[in-house]
Amino acid sequence: MRTPLITLLSGVLASLLFAGTASAVPTEQVRPVPKGKTALVANPIYKSGKLEPDPCPEQPAYDNDLESAEAYLNAVLDCLNEGWGYQFSKVELPFSKPRFSVTSRLGVPTGCGKFPRGAQAVYCPVNKKITFYLSKGILSQASELFLFQVLAHEYGHHVQQLSGIMTAFNSRKYKNAKAVLPELRKIELQAECLSGAFLGSVWRSLDRRESDFRYVLNAAYSTATHGTAKNIAYWLTRGFQQDSPGACNTFTAPRSRVS
Ligand SMILES: [Zn+2]
């Protein structure tokens, strides 16, 4: 059994607490982005069906090589843009690509404050930007499926932002930092499920074995913001098996599934 050397689940507590900006003016026929409770529990994105099984062949990412890891991530990002862009068009919600940057050090600006210690990547809803931290630890395992899955998770937050889920979450009033945790876990577990849905949709075009997926699953560990290891694995697998954001409605799930 291999033990992961790195912490991989991305912490976005700080960035999530910032309100998102309004969506850009759409150019195609679109419907208004849902708000409030509707955005959370009955979002049109849940009815968008399966993601297209488009091919997304992985570029080589060599261990301990920043350049190839960055190129790898950019190629995965192209696939995510393609797949999710089409998904939004199916339900006539406006879509735009996220901004993206890679950093090899902590503390760089993300749009939601400095890049925090302990996070692998951050999505900032204010500037719709993903910042990915390629630490020595993760670069030593760059050929594992982590990079792909973490980027797909952050992209899940972008999907939440574009579909009104993040804004609805941010606009609710919470008594204190502790009161936000149950709702934050639904956000995080949903992003995990959305990463699984995307991974599942392109799985056949990846040169991977089931053990690669299991390795990512086994790396899940419990935190107050992201849920128990068991639930993280549950939502990742659920998305992966159904290839659809419809599998990812954590806002109507039983409490035991979002603990
Ligand atoms: Zn997250």
pLDDT the model gives residue 115: 97
Whether 23 has a pLDDT exceeding 80, the answer reads no
Please write the tens of the pLDDT for every residue from 119-169: 999 999 999 999 999 999 999 999 999 999 999 999 999 999 999 999 999
Cα distances from 80 to residues 156, 158, 185, in angstroms, run: 10, 11, 23
pTM of this structure: 0.89
49 CA to centre of ligand 1 in angstroms: 23
Q: Name the pLDDT band for 222 (thresholds 50, 70, 90).
A: confident
12 CA to centre of ligand 1 in angstroms: 5
166 CA to centre of ligand 1 in angstroms: 11
Please write the tens of the pLDDT for every residue from 88-121: 999 999 999 999 999 999 999 999 999 999 999 9
pLDDT the model gives residue 112: 96
Quickly count: other Cβ atoms within 10 Å of residue 175's Cβ. Answer: 7
154 CA to centre of ligand 1 in angstroms: 6
19 CA to centre of ligand 1 in angstroms: 16
Looking at this protein, which amino acid is placed at residue 47?
Answer: K
pLDDT the model gives residue 155: 98
Q: Name the pLDDT band for 28 (thresholds 50, 70, 90).
A: low
Nearest to 184 by CA among 196, 172, 194, 195: 172
pLDDT the model gives residue 6: 40
Helices 66-90/146-162 angle, 10° precision: 40
Backbone angles phi, psi at 16, to 5 degrees: -65, -25
69 CA to centre of ligand 1 in angstroms: 20
186 CA to centre of ligand 1 in angstroms: 10
13 CA to centre of ligand 1 in angstroms: 8
Side by side, the strands of the sheet bearing 129-133 are 99-103, 129-133, 121-124
Q: What is the mean pLDDT of residues 30-42?
A: 96
pLDDT the model gives residue 29: 72
Q: Name the pLDDT band for 13 (thresholds 50, 70, 90).
A: very low
Q: What is the mean pLDDT of residues 207-230?
A: 91
2 CA to centre of ligand 1 in angstroms: 24
Q: Name the pLDDT band for 19 (thresholds 50, 70, 90).
A: very low
Buried/exposed 179-207: b ≥16 CB within 10 Å, e otherwise: ebeebbbbbbbbbbbbbbbbbbbbbeebe
Q: What is the mean pLDDT of residues 57-68?
A: 96
Give the ranges where 103-145 is alpha helix by DSSP (H). Answer: 136-139
231 CA to centre of ligand 1 in angstroms: 14
Instruction: For the chain, report the end-to-end CA distance as a whole number of angstroms.
Output: 27
Work out the percent of the chain whose per-residue pLDDT is above 90. 82
210 CA to centre of ligand 1 in angstroms: 24
152 CA to centre of ligand 1 in angstroms: 10
pLDDT the model gives residue 17: 44
Give the residue extent of every domain in the chain.
Answer: 58-258
29 CA to centre of ligand 1 in angstroms: 30
Please write the tens of the pLDDT for every residue from 48-57: 999 999 999 9
237 CA to centre of ligand 1 in angstroms: 16
Quickly count: other Cβ atoms within 10 Å of residue 139's Cβ. Answer: 19
203 CA to centre of ligand 1 in angstroms: 21
